[in-house]
Structure 1
Amino acid sequence: MFLSTSRTRKLHEPRNVWHSSWWSLKFIVFIVSVLVPFFFPPALIQLYGEVARVGAGIFLLLQLVSVIQFISWWNKYWMPDEKMKQICSLGLFTSTIFYIASFCGIGLMYFLYVPKLRCVLNIFFISWTLILLIVMMVVSLHSKVNRGLLSSGIMASYVVFLCWSAIRSEPATEKCCAQKQGSGTSDWITILSFLIAICAVVMATFSTGIDSQSFQFRKDEAKEEDDIPYKYGFFHIIFSLGAMYFAMLFISWNLNNSATKWSMDVGWTSTWVKIINEWLAASIYLWTLISPVVRQTKVRNHEEAVQANGSAIP
């Protein structure tokens, strides 16, 4: 799909019709693509697994950028304005809800996943997440940044979710893992978290694939009426990377792992991938807050240096 749609520019092109319709033929192609890999040699599957591991990591990074772009848009839409007092109050209420949910999530994780003081790793994960929440809140409220609480509140909830997902991926044999009980309740929680993960990844894939503008270095190109609404090639590349991410979820990022019942996305590799993803998300978000201030300072220093050099010339 990428090769056949990557150079599409206008809506009247045949490749646009191929991208947007021909569902019967694409369904046949899909069925064939599902059945053919059963006849591939194991070495080829192993090679794809190595490629998929890298592609899944790239997907996580692109997903982070897309999520942060969406949060920034949401925050700008509800920025304080005298003519939009109702929207501002709604933004304040929403940010409060997000922060309450975030801190409640932190407390719940302490309660569920730190049954003993010997659970040092879980204490570190949760405590560091709490520190990230406070740092994001302080930076966003700083007088030089002044981004408000909405964007940091949404990001705080996202970071807490990533931390919870990481701890949930710890092996069930661990003493600090709340899902080690072989009860039906744990099975239902696993199924529910799996469905939530499916929906989240599908939504992230759609939004990231359509949001190609966030990954362009030049954004001043004028669009015409007959231009395609988004980059089709980028859309299909994101879906291929999303498929690689799903492949890693099913095998817990371990190519030598044999999946057992309710063990999807369970293992120390999955845990550390999600924790690193959480730290990267917080780091990228903090950089988006700080970078305008840093650039403004550099520009001001450059202008002052130019003025000083100009005044020094006789």
Structure 2
Amino acid sequence: MVAHFGAGVFLLIQLISIISFITWLNDFCHSEKYAVRCHVQMMLLATVAYVICILGIILMYIWYTPQPSCLLNIFFISWTLVLLQLMTSVSLHPKVNAGFLTPGFMGLYVVFLCWSAIRSEPAEEKCIRKAESPTGKGDWFTIISFVVAVLTIVIATFSTGIDSKCFQFKKDDAPEEDDVPYGYGFFHFVFATGAMYFAMLLIGWNPNHAMKKFTIDVGWTSTWVRVVNEWLAVCVYIWMLVAPIIWKSRQVATSNV
């Protein structure tokens, strides 16, 4: 239970860190100093992001819904498309006016989570088209995926642990000379939760589930963990867009009383 909780905390920390980076990049490009210079690059990046999102959704429909009876996969993919439209609509609302860049990048993230969730479904699932390959060749693809997963988790752990200031509710405007860019305790905490998360990948988030040889993060528990993570990512992103407006309106209402 402790490992499950720690892995969930790591997913939440990683999620907040990713959204913070996306919003920081958007604010940086919209700043007065770089707004004119980065306008073309922003539109190009946003366009590429949306094209990849739509292409990914189309490919998932082709690969993972070979039969009309694959209702669960159809729901996952269709709901991802709805969430992409929802994030775009909220971002383009006149009161928010966050542009296309942040929902485009968040769209890439949620499409990736949807794809990884469907890929985590058990191999016996008929709605997943497995590539036919010679015996033993599929194991090499699994090993390569394993190595990539290790590198991804290590990079995410280091970047999240160092970027501890994005989780502070109150930031100091004048840091001291001997101040380090990260907190030692928070860094080791993130690394520990990252280790718990990787352990959950190895057992498919289910200690009672027998994993097959050369498989990682496979099982219905893993699928639903990623699906919930996708939905939570959209909720957190929308809240980060809407929260400043709500707080500002409350402050105005309080001052008028």
Structure 1 length-normalised TM:
0.77
CA distance in 1, matches of 2:206, 2:221: 7
Q: How far has the Cα of 1:205 moved from its partner?
A: 0.7
**Pick from 234, 242, 250: which aligns with 2:186?**
234
Is the Cα contact below 8 Å between 1:210 and 1:231 reproduced in 2? yes
- Decide which moves more: 185-194 or 219-228: 185-194
Distance change (3 Å), C-alpha of 1:224 and 1:180? same
Is the Cα contact below 8 Å between 1:173 and 1:180 reproduced in 2? no
Q: What secondary structure, in the 3-state scheme, does the structure 1 residue paired with 2:177 have?
A: coil
Which structure 2 residue ranges, 5 or more long, are not aligned?
none
Aligned to 1:190: 142
CA distance in 2, matches of 1:167, 1:213: 34
CA distance in 1, matches of 2:210, 2:169: 42
Aligned-CA RMSD value: 1.8
Q: How far has the Cα of 1:194 moved from its partner?
A: 3.2
Distance change (3 Å), C-alpha of 1:189 and 1:134? farther
Q: Does 1:99 align with 2:41?
A: no
Is the Cα contact below 8 Å between 1:75 and 1:150 reproduced in 2? yes
Q: Does 1:156 align with 2:96?
A: no
CA distance in 2, matches of 1:83, 1:194: 40
Q: Does 1:292 align with 2:244?
A: yes
CA distance in 2, matches of 1:127, 1:101: 16
**Higher helix fraction (1 or 2):** 1
Q: Does 1:203 align with 2:155?
A: yes
Aligned to 1:111: 62
CA distance in 2, matches of 1:232, 1:60: 20
**What amino acid is aligned across from residue 148 of structure 1 in structure 2?**
G
- Decide which moves more: 77-86 or 142-151: 77-86
CA distance in 2, matches of 1:292, 1:80: 18
Aligned length: 256
Aligned to 2:126: 175
Which structure 1 residue ranges, 5 or more long, are not aligned?
1-49, 307-314
Distance change (3 Å), C-alpha of 1:189 and 1:81? farther
Distance change (3 Å), C-alpha of 1:187 and 1:105? farther
Is the Cα contact below 8 Å between 2:118 and 2:223 reproduced in 1? yes
Q: Deviations 1:268-305 (Å, cap 9, x if unpaired)?
A: 0000000000000011001011111111222222233x
Distance change (3 Å), C-alpha of 1:256 and 1:122? same
CA distance in 2, matches of 1:198, 1:130: 29
Q: How far has the Cα of 1:264 moved from its partner?
A: 1.2
CA distance in 2, matches of 1:186, 1:134: 36
Q: What secondary structure, in the 3-state scheme, does the structure 1 residue paired with 2:30 have?
A: coil
Aligned to 1:16: none
CA distance in 2, matches of 1:289, 1:81: 20
Aligned to 1:281: 233
Is the Cα contact below 8 Å between 2:28 and 2:34 reproduced in 1? no
Q: Deviations 1:89-139 (Å, cap 9, x if unpaired)?
A: 101101111111011000000000000010000000000000000000111
CA distance in 2, matches of 1:170, 1:141: 35
| Sequence identity percentage | 53
Q: Does 1:120 align with 2:50?
A: no
Q: Does 1:249 align with 2:201?
A: yes
Q: How far has the Cα of 1:183 moved from its partner?
A: 5.0
Is the Cα contact below 8 Å between 1:172 and 1:180 reproduced in 2? no
